[in-house]
Amino acid sequence: MKIAMTGTSGNMGREALSQVMELEEVEFVRVLLTHKKKNDKLAQQYRKRYGDRIEILRGTVADEELCKRLVSGVDLVVHMAAVIPPRSDASFSESYECNQCGAVALVNAVKACAPQPPYVHISTVALYGNRNEKHPWGRVGDPLLVSPFDAYAMHKLAGERYVLEAELERFAVLRQTAMLHPNMLNDNVSDGLMFHTALNAPLEWVSSRDSGYLIRQIVKRESAGEIDGFWNNVYNIGAGRAGRDTGYDTFKDGFALIGGSAEKFFKPDWLASRNFHGLWYLDGEELQSYFHYQRDGVSEYWKEIGKKHKIFALARIVPAKLIDLFLFRRLLNHPNSPRRWIKNGDAARVQAYFGGMEAVQRLPKKWEEVKLLAKGDFGDYDALRDGETAVRERKYLSHGYDESKPMREWTIADMREAAIFRGGKCLSPTMEKGNALKKLRWQCHDGHLFESSPLTVLRAGHWCPICGQPTPWDFDRLAKDNPFYAQVWYDSHDRDEELRYDFDADGRAVMTRSEP
C-alpha cells in the first residue's frame, strides 16, 4: 500500500508516520514538509530511519502542482497539516494558506486522480466554538459557531466544507479534539494563549499516540478492505470517558508536575470567561467502534509527561511565588493575553472574550468565589461526564429533525424540518431517499441561496456558506432567527447583544453594531 501524508512534522503526524511505517502492508509513504529550517533535520531523520520506504517533498500544501505530485499513484491520502494556535493567531496569512487553501489544493489534486485514492481529512473540535457547563456535550451535526477572532477555526471550517462539497468518491472528515503530547507543558507557557482557556470549558483530550494509532488502524483496515461503511462521513476523535475534564482540570494536572496549581500560580480573572472551544463527545463511540484506538487516559498521560521531563520535578523546589513571577506574570503582557487587551482598551476582543469591560469588573478575584464544574458546583461532576447519563437525560442539542433515523432513511421531509429549525427553507422539491451526498437547494433566513448535500447540512452541521461562514462573526444577529444556533449561542451570550466581529484591512480585531 502506498500512502501520502501531510503534517508529519506535527505531534499527530509524527506519531501517525511512525506507526504506519510499522505495517507490513505499507510499501512506502510520501510526505510533504515545508521549507522551514527545523524540517531539514527532520527530513534527514526520516530518510535515515525509513530509507527508501519514504519519499519527501518540500514545499507548501497550498501548492496545487506539488499536491498533484504528492498524491500521484498512492492508495490513500491523509491530510493532517495545520497551522494551529498560537501561530495562527500571530499569522493570519499562514493560517489561511495552510488550513483553508491547503485543503482546497489537496482535494483538487485527489479529485484529478484516476483512480481516486480515499482521502482522510483531519478537521478540529474548534469548529463547534464555545461551550460551558450549560451544554458540555456535543456531537457531529451540532451547530458550527466558530469563536470570534479564531482564525484557525475559521479557516479550518472553510477547508472542511470544501472537502464535504467536492464530490470525492471516498472521504472521511475526522474532527480532532484537544491533543495531549509530550511537549505540551513547554509549548503552553510561552504565549498568552494559555489565558484563553475558560475554567469551565469541557475538554475531551486524546493523546498524540492514540491519534497516530487511529491513522495506523485506518491504513491497516483499508488495506484489508474492511471499512467500506466508514467512508463518506464525519466523525469526532476523542479519548472517551478517560479523556474528559475541564479547563480547570487541565491547569490542575499540568501544574502539579511542577509542584503547583492554578490557585498558586495565577488569579482567576486572568482567564477569559468565554470564546474558547471544547466539548465532551457524545458520539465518540462511532469512530472507536471501527478502529479501537482509545487507550490513553488524561491522568495517566500527564504522569508519563512528568516522567519524560525530569526537569519538571526540579521545579517543585522553586517557591511558587517565583514561578508565578517569572513564568506566568510575564505572559500577562504578551500580545495574545486577555489582560493585555484589557490594559490596551482592545474593546473588540474584550467584548468577545468576556462580554465587555463591565463583565471584566464582575469577574471573581479570588479562587473561593469561582464556581467550578470540576468541583461539583453545577452538579455531580462524575455523573455529568458520564455519556450514558447524558443520553438518558437528553443533555444535548437538537438538530431539528427526526434523529432516530439513520442517513439511509432520510427523506425530503427531514430536510425541510432541519431547514426550518435553521430559520430557512429546503427548496428542492424531492430527494432520493437516503442519498446524503447529492446536493439540494437551500435558502437561509437572509435569503441567500446555496447548494449543499444533506451530509454537509444535517450530518456535519454546516449551514449558509455566506452568512454562517465567518468573517464577519454575526451570530448575535443570526441566532435571533435561527433556533439551531440560538440553543448554544445564548449559553455564553446575552440575547440583547447586537455586535458583529471582524478583522479590518490591517488584521486588527474590530466590532460594529450588527445590522438588522
pLDDT value, residue 300: 85
Nearest to 186 by CA among 101, 282, 100, 305: 305
pLDDT value, residue 317: 65
**Residues facing 122 on adjacent strands:** 174
pLDDT value, residue 256: 85
What lies within 8 Å, CB to CB, of 65 at 6+ separation is: none
Q: What is the distance between the alpha carbons of residues 468 and 463, in angstroms, rounded to a whole number? A: 6
Question: How far apart are the two ends of the chain, measured CA to CA in Å?
Answer: 55
Q: What is the distance between the alpha carbons of residues 479 and 487, in angstroms, rounded to a whole number? A: 8
Work out the angle at residue 377's Cα, subtended by the Cα atoms of residues 376 and 382, and round it to the nearest 5 degrees.
20
pLDDT value, residue 129: 97
Nearest to 301 by CA among 178, 155, 476, 176: 178
What lies within 8 Å, CB to CB, of 15 at 6+ separation is: 208, 209, 211, 212, 213
Q: What is the distance between the alpha carbons of residues 305 and 297, in angstroms, rounded to a whole number? A: 12
Q: What is the distance between the alpha carbons of residues 444 and 449, in angstroms, rounded to a whole number? A: 7
Mean pLDDT per 10-residue segment, the chain (516 residues): 97 97 97 95 96 97 97 98 94 96 98 97 98 96 97 97 98 95 74 94 96 98 94 97 95 85 91 96 96 93 77 66 76 94 96 97 96 95 90 92 95 98 98 97 97 98 91 95 98 96 91 86
pLDDT value, residue 302: 83
pLDDT value, residue 394: 87
- All three cell numbers of 268, joined, read 482567576
Nearest to 184 by CA among 268, 262, 86, 91: 86
One-character DSSP codes across 383-402: HHT-HHHHHHTT-S---SS-
Asked whether the beta carbons of 451 and 131 are under 8 A apart, the reply is no
Work out the angle at residue 354's Cα, subtended by the Cα atoms of residues 348 and 355, and round it to the nearest 5 degrees.
70
pLDDT value, residue 485: 98
pLDDT value, residue 61: 97
pLDDT value, residue 51: 96
Residue that is written with C-alpha cell 493585555 in the block? 340
**Residues facing 206 on adjacent strands:** 179
With residue 219 as reference, give the H or E element that holds it: helix 208-223
pLDDT value, residue 279: 95
Please give the domain boundaries of the chain with CATH numbers for all domains: 2-185+203-240+275-303 (3.40.50.720), 407-513 (no CATH)
Q: What is the distance between the alpha carbons of residues 471 and 490, in angstroms, rounded to a whole number? A: 20
